[in-house]
Amino acid sequence: MLGEGILKGLGETARNFAGSFVSAERLTTVQYPEERIAPIEATRDFPFLVYDGADWEAGLRCVACQICEKECPPKCIYIVKSTDKKPDALGKPQIYPSRFDIDISVCMSCQICVEVCPFEAIKMDTEFELSTTDRFGGLLYDKKELAKSNEHFHKIHPTEAAEVDARLAEEKAKSEAKAKGAAAAAAAKAAAGTVAASPATAAKQTIAAAPTSAVKAAEGDKKE
Amino acid sequence: MIEKADQIFVLLGHWLVSFLPGPLQHPAMVLLGVVGIIVTFPALFAITVLLERKGLGRMQNRYGPNRVGPYGIFQPVADGIKSLTKEDIVPLSADAVVHFLAPVFLVVVVFMGYAVLPIGRNMTLVNMDAGLLFFFAIGASSELSVFMAGWSSRNKYSLLGAMRAVAQMISYEVPLLMSSVAVVMMTGSLSLNKIVDAQNQYSYGLPHWYIFTPWGFAGFILFAIAATAETNRSPFDLPEGESELVAGYFTEYSGFKFALFFLGEYVGMLGISGLGTTLFLGGYSAPLQVLGFVPSWIWFFAKVMLSMCVFIWVRGTLPRLRQDQLMNFAWKFVLPLTLLNLGVAGAWRFMGEGLLRWAVCSAILLVAYVLMARVGMKREHFGPRSYRYAE
């Protein structure tokens, strides 16, 4: 009969109206500034730069290879390579970014920079309360604003951070083993090749060769 | 004491004007009444908007506005300040004068309807003999304002909205009038005061409201449908359907002019609720004889606010109609039923007291309703589209 559906609908809205006063699970609204729900682990918005250790400037993993800058679809990353080298967190001398800016008003949160970074240096953040009264400068983040510790990374994306740490540790172990092997090989070669030569020179060569070859091996490993 | 509470506003007015010299007393009394109406109904409008936003929220399982003041009760104040301070933009190609006049005209017209509404005992601003006629005449001219707004904006959405509004309002004006004519037939008067007096009687402690008769009940439902369409409320809100026409005829309005349209719409709703209350729900009379001690104006406002709640409830329930459904409903269902209802009202009048007229009138209306629904509102099933030339 005509009107039956209307009555049914009116009943449904009345039930919802009354129900929202008595049952808490109907009202799913989270009253945001006072109440918050923890973001899910896959949440991401804008990238940040990971650093190890306590000093953000020394500990930056970024070596200014500029891959992310080239791959960024909206071109929101701006990097200036340093002219000198500085020791990184592990003590190896590396090129570092003398400038690293991300314009988050341009960034589209695509995560491509994270996917292409060979050094696990750039990751996605979950911070979303980024409003500012300065729409140009306030949204252009420099190196200092972008740098966040590995602990922060662990806090926001625990699973991914654990994987990254495991991978880095493995690589480090591998490169150390390789360096050790190379050093040993060089030493053996030196020892074998300089049978006729005086033992003094042989010893000198070994000492000189060991550190350089280790560094080279480590660098080669990373670039792969 | 009861009498004094009932007449408090009348007595207050008389006391205030008694300080003036004789010839000024009557105009001053009229002015006081006008001021009273212009203050009261926008206040009710604010309450209604808040009720609507909170009520719709609850129907959709959310809180509604709850930030401004405790439970968000100052939300209308914040909205008012916002619309007053907003920039008022007039499109370059718009007809500036008409564009400005449209909202003003709407508000003026809508307030004029209240002149004849009996808000309480002895509380009618103008006790006109043809009060009902005046209300409808004034109510119909709000269409002009809508069309002024749509035409002067020079915007295709505004114009489409105005076209829809005019088509809809003219279509539903007929059943609106026809359903009220039944009341006029029974009362024998166009005066709204006389209509209320005719309903303000009790037998066995129960009121003689027209809604408690078969023709009155049918008339009230039809009146409510037509009134909803007349005030452009959901589900008949095609003229301002935001998913189709941005905002319909007030697309190009911003700031205070937009607020005036908003005010006009809601005050119009309150007015038509007041008219429905007067015609079918006994106006300012109490629902039970024992409740007669409560001041009459309280009953009037209670009934008006109740019908506003029903408006909100319906808005929360029904989706918007399509244009052809709207027209079919008006001309093929509502109008025939109102015409039949006139006949039924006549039969009721001349069949004398007794159960027989109840049985006969209810049966006629019920059968007609079922038949009309079966035949007139039959859902059309369209087959696959066929082309004659474009094969």
Assess if CATH 3.30.70.3270 describes domain A47-164.
yes
* Closest residue in A to B373 (Cα–Cα): A2
Sequence spans of domains, chain A: 47-164, 171-223
Portion 5-24 of B in contact with A at CB < 8 A: none
Per-residue tokens: A133: 């009264």
Distance CA B370, CA B382 (A): 24
SS3 A38: coil
Q: Where are the alpha helices (DSSP H) in B20-127?
A: 22-59, 75-85, 96-112
Q: Residue B103: is the preceding peptide bond cis (ω within 30°)?
A: no
What 3-state DSSP class applies to B231?
Answer: coil
Bigger pLDDT: A217 vs B370: B370
Distance CA B52, CA B310 (A): 10
Which amino acid is residue B181, in one-letter code? V
Is A37 within 8 Å of A26 (Cβ atoms)? no
Q: Across-strand partners of B202?
A: B207
Give the percent of chain A with pLDDT over 90: 15
Residue A202 has pLDDT above 70, yes or no: no
- Chain centre distance of CA A70: 17
- Residue A60: DSSP 8-state: B
Q: What residues does A50 pair with on adjacent strands?
A: A148
Instruction: Spell out which residues of chain A touch residue B58, defining contact as CB-CB under 8 Å.
Output: 16-17, 20-21
Is A223 a residue whose pLDDT tops 50? no
Residue A212 has pLDDT above 60, yes or no: no
Which residues in chain A are contacts of B309 at CB distance < 8 A? none
Question: What proportions of chain B, in percent to the nearest 5, are helix, strand and coil?
Answer: 70, 0, 25
**Which CA distances in Å does B344 have to A148, A197, B118, B187?**
81, 130, 27, 15
- Give the C-alpha distances (Å, rounded to integers) separating B12 from A3, B18, B116: 47, 10, 20
Q: Angle between the B22-59 and A4-22 helix axes, to the nearest 10 degrees?
A: 80
Number of H helices, E strands in chain B: 16, 2
At residue A35, the pLDDT reads 86
ipTM: 0.78
pLDDT at position A199, please? 52
Interface test with B, best of A12, A13, A16 (most B CBs within 10 A): A13
CB contact under 8 A, A2 and B62: no
List of residues 6+ apart from B218 with CB closer than 8 A: B337, B341, B344, B365, B369
Q: Of chain B residues 45-84, which have a CB less than 8 A from chain A?
A: 55, 58-63
Looking at CA atoms only, how far is residue A4 from chain B in angstroms? 11
Closest CA of chain A from B59, distance in Å: 4
Torsion from C-alpha of B370, B373, B375, B380, nearest 10 degrees = -150
Q: Does residue A30 contact residue A36 with C-beta atoms inside 8 Å?
A: yes
Are B207 and B286 a contacting pair, CB within 8 Å? Answer: yes
- pLDDT over 70 percentage in chain A: 84
Residue B225 confidence (pLDDT)? 92
CA atoms of A94 and A100, how far apart (whole Å): 16
Separation of alpha carbons A52 and A55, rounded Å: 8
Q: In a 3-state reduction of DSSP, which class is residue B236? A: coil
Which of B51, B53, B54, B58 to substitute to test the interface with A, most A CBs within 10 Å?
B58
Residues of A in contact with B62 (CB under 8 A): 20, 27, 29
What's the whole-model pTM score? Answer: 0.76
Check residues A221 and A134 and name the one with the higher pLDDT: A134
Number of Cβ pairs < 8 A linking chain A and chain B? 42
Contact A154, A52 (CB under 8 A): no
* Nearest-10 crossing angle of helices B22-59, B255-280: 100
Predicted confidence band of residue A224 (pLDDT cuts 50, 70, 90): very low
Mapping DSSP to helix (H, G, I), strand (E, B) and coil, where does residue B86 land?
Answer: coil
- Kindly give, in sequence order, each residue whose CB lies less than 8 Å from that of residue B315, ignoring residues fewer than 6 positions away: B52, B56, B233, B234, B235
Q: Which of A6, A17, A31 sits opposite B318 (nearest CB)?
A: A6
**Residue among A6, A20, A25, A35 with most chain B CBs within 10 A, to mutate:** A20
- Whether the per-residue pLDDT at A151 is higher than 70: the answer is yes
Strand partners, A147: A49
Q: Give the HSE-up count for residue A158: Cα atoms under 13 Å, Cβ half-sphere.
A: 3
Q: In chain A, what residues touch B317 (CB-CB under 8 Å)?
A: 6, 9-10, 12-13
How buried is residue B353: exposed, middle or buried, by Cβ count under 10 Å (0-12/13-18/19+)?
exposed
Contacting B with CB below 8 Å, chain A residues are 1-3, 6, 9-10, 12-14, 16-17, 19-21, 26-29, 31
Q: Phi-psi bin for B384: left (phi > 0), alpha (psi -120 to 50), beta?
A: beta
Residues of chain B short of pLDDT 50, as ranges, are none
Rounded to a whole number, what is the distance in Å from the CA of B384 to chain A's nearest CA? 27
- Nearest by CB to A16, which of B61, B369, B377? B61
Residues B313, A14: C-beta atoms closer than 8 Å? yes
Element (H, E) at A122: strand A122-124
Question: Are B226 and B51 a contacting pair, CB within 8 Å?
Answer: no
- Do residue A16 and residue B373 have CB atoms under 8 angstroms apart? no
- What are the sequence ranges of the domains in chain B? 88-375
Q: How far is CA B6 from CA B128, B154, B207, B308, in A?
A: 22, 51, 19, 24
Which residue from B61, B316, B370 is facing A27, i.e. has the nearest CB? Answer: B61
pLDDT band of A96, cuts 50, 70, 90? confident
Establish if B93 touches chain A: CB-CB under 8 angstroms. no
Mean pLDDT to the nearest integer, A2-25: 87
**A87-96, A175-184, B73-82: least confident range:** A87-96
pLDDT digits (tens, 9 = 90+) for A122-133: 999 888 888 889
